[in-house]
Amino acid sequence: MPEGQLSDAARPAATSRAALAPLPAERVVGSDPALKEPRWHAGRLFWLEQRPQEQGRTTLLTRGCPGAEPLELTPGEWNLRSRVHDYGGGVYALGEGRGGGGKPEPLLVFVHDGDRCLWRLDLGPASRGGPVAGQVQPAPEPRRLTAPGARAFADGLIDGARRRWIGVMESGGRDRLVAVDLAGGEPVPLHAPADFCGYAVLSPSGRQLAWVEWQQPFMPWERSQLWLGRFEASGALVEARVIAGSGSADPQGVSVFQPLWLPNGDLVVANDRSGWWNLERLAEADQRKVGHTPWQRLLPLEAEFALPQWVYGMATTAWDGEHLVAAACRQGRWELGRLALPEDPGADGLWQPLNLPFDDLGQVVAEEGRLACLASGPTVGQGLLELELATGRWSHCPVAVEVLPAELISPPEPLWFAGYGNAPTHAWYHPPIGGAQPSTPLLVRGHSGPTAMARTGLNPVIPYWTSRGWGVVDVNYGGSTGFGRAYRERLDGQWGVVDVADCAAAALALVAAGKADPERIAIEGGSAAGFTVLAALCFTDVFRAGACRYAVADLTAMATETHRFEARYLDGLVGPWPESQALYLQRSPLEHADRIGCPVIFFQGLNDQVVPPAQTERMAAALRANGIRAEVHLFPEEGHGFRSGGVQRQVLVATEAFFRRQFNLLPLDLPGL
C-alpha cells in the first residue's frame, strides 16, 4: 500500500446531510472484533482477535505481508484466554521448535480457556511465493502440554535453547515463575516471588532472565521492581536480585514497565522515578554490579512510555533491528517515534516523532525494520498499523465491519477546567452533531481502572450519542494515566472524592460555556467508573440520571471479598483496611443510597468475580426502598466486562432509552440537522 494511504475500509464514508440519521446500535457496538497482542516472528505478524459475535471467543490469526488474507490458526472451539489475576493477558508465546531433519520451525504455546492448560501448536515452514507468501502451514491440531488443575498460566516466552516455555503460574493464592517442557509435563518451579510477578524477558545470550515483581498492598503502577537472574547449565534460575524500582519498604514509590533486551545485552525499562514513565538503560557491563546500579535515563521527557499493568502482554517499546521505537503519551495524546540512543552515558537520546494520522496507540512490536501496533485516530477506528521504518510506507487495516459517515463523527476537543482543589484537569469533549447549545443534553463518561485514560481514538459508541443530539465529555479525572505520576497520585486516598468532583466540574464547565442543559446531565461508567457514577449521584447535585455496569457500590465488600489481584488496592485509594473502616462507610454509595434522588439503570454479569452481583442487587434494592427508580439487567453468562456482542448492544440501547425517558427526549431527535 502506498505511503500514507489508508485502506478503503478505514475511510469515513461520505454521506449527504439530508440522508443522515442517528446511528443504530448494530453499527457501533457488538459486531467489530477487538484486537490484542500483535507479535512479529520470522517476518510474520500474529495477533489475537476477540469476537463478540462468537460470545467473546478469542482466536489467533497471522499473515505474511500487509493486505494478505489472514489465516486463523485456532478455529472452532479454541478460546485463547488467560485467567491469571482474573484480568489475564499474555495469552501466547512464539518461538522455534525442531521439524523434519532437525531444522528449526516456528511453534506457539497458548492458554486455552476450555481447560486453562498450556497447548502447543507447530506452525510448519512458511510458503515462499504466491498470494500467501510468508504464510504458515499449521499442524492439524494443537497438543496439550499441561494437565488440568486448579491453576492458571500466562505471560510466557519460549526458551528455545532449553526447549521449554517460561512464564507465570498462579496457584494456591500466589504467583510463581515456572518452566514447562515443550514436549509436555508438570511445571518446574524457577522462582517464587513474595507476591506477584510477570513480564519476563530472556537475554539475547539466553543466560539471563529479567522480570517484574510487586507486593501488596501496592499495585504494579504504584511500586514495582525489576529483577534479574542467571540460568545455570541445569536450567535453574539463580542469583535473583532487584536492579530497579521500589518495594513496599522503600521511601520513594517507583514503578517499572516492560523490560526489553537490546541485541548488545543492554537492558531497557520504563521507570517513573522522575515523575514520568521514561526509558532508562542498564549497560551489559553494569548488570553484574551489586548494590548501586547505574541506570542511564535515555530521554527526559514530560511524557509517558508506559501504562498501568492491569493485564499481561502490554508493550510500548520495541527494537526494530537498528533503533528503539516507542509510543509516548503527551497531554493525553499518543505518538510513535524513534529513539536514537546516545553514545555518551551522560548525554540524552534524540526523540524523532513519526508523522502518522493516529494518536491512540498501543501494543508496539517491531522486527527487522518493520513495526506493528494497534492504532486509531479521531476519525479512524482501531486496526492493525504496519509500518516500514526505512521508507515510511504504512498500511492500516481497521476492524470495523461498517465505516461511519464522516458527518456523524464528532472528533474530541481538549477541555481543561478547574477540577478538585482547583487543579488543572483534562477531558475530551465531543459536541453533538449540529452543534451544542444551552438546551443540549450531556453525557459524562468516566473511564475504568480508575487508572486508565480517556482516549482520542474513534470509539463508535460516542457517535451513537452525538448523532442523537447529545454532547459527550470523557473525563481524565485525577488518577488518570498519561499526565505523569503526580496526576495519577491525586487519587491516592481520595477515590470517591477527586474523581467525583472532577466529573462534576467538567459538566459544570460545559454548562457555563452554554454547551449543556443543567437539567439534562447524565453520567455513566463501568467497574471503578461505576463507583464514580454512584458516588457522584450520592454526593453531588449535578447529575439527573446514571447508568452503571458492574459497579462497585460497597467499598467494605470490595475490601473483603474481591479477588487476589485487587485485594489491597483500596488501601491506597481509600485507606488501610480495617483501620479506615469509617472512611469506607463514609464513601460507599450503598451506605448513602438515600441521598440519590434520580433514577439509575444497572447492568451486571452473574459470573463476575471482581464485583460480586450481590452489590448491584443490594444497591438497586436500597434505591427502590427510597422510592427511586432502579432498573436492573442481569446477564447469566457474563463476568466482569461484557464480551457478547448481543449483550453490548442491549446495554447501549437500554441506557439510551432510559436516559431519553428521564429527560423527555424524542426518539431519534437530531437538533440542528
Residue 485 makes CB contacts below 8 A (sequence gap 6+) with 255, 272, 275, 276, 277
Per-residue burial over 515-526, b if 16 or more Cβ lie within 10 Å, else e, is bbbeebbbbbbb
Q: Say if CB 441 and CB 665 are below 8 A apart.
A: yes
d(CA 257, CA 544) in angstroms, rounded, equals 40
Residue 346 makes CB contacts below 8 A (sequence gap 6+) with none
User: How high is the pLDDT of residue 101?
Assistant: 60
| Every domain of the chain and the residues it spans | 35-167, 406-663
Locate 303 and state its grid cell: 511524557
d(CA 317, CA 278) in angstroms, rounded, equals 11
User: How high is the pLDDT of residue 137?
Assistant: 59
Assign domain 406-663 to its CATH architecture: 3-Layer(aba) Sandwich (3.40)
Q: What is the pTM of this model?
A: 0.92
User: How high is the pLDDT of residue 518?
Assistant: 98
pLDDT digits (tens, 9 = 90+) for 239-250: 999 999 999 999
d(CA 484, CA 502) in angstroms, rounded, equals 17
User: How high is the pLDDT of residue 135?
Assistant: 56
How distant is the alpha carbon of residue 8 from its chain centre? Answer: 27
Q: Which residues of the chain have pLDDT under 50?
A: 1-3, 9, 14-19, 127-133, 669-673
Tallying the residues shown for the chain, one arrives at 673
Among 299, 349, 350, 359, which Cα is nearest to 327's?
A: 359
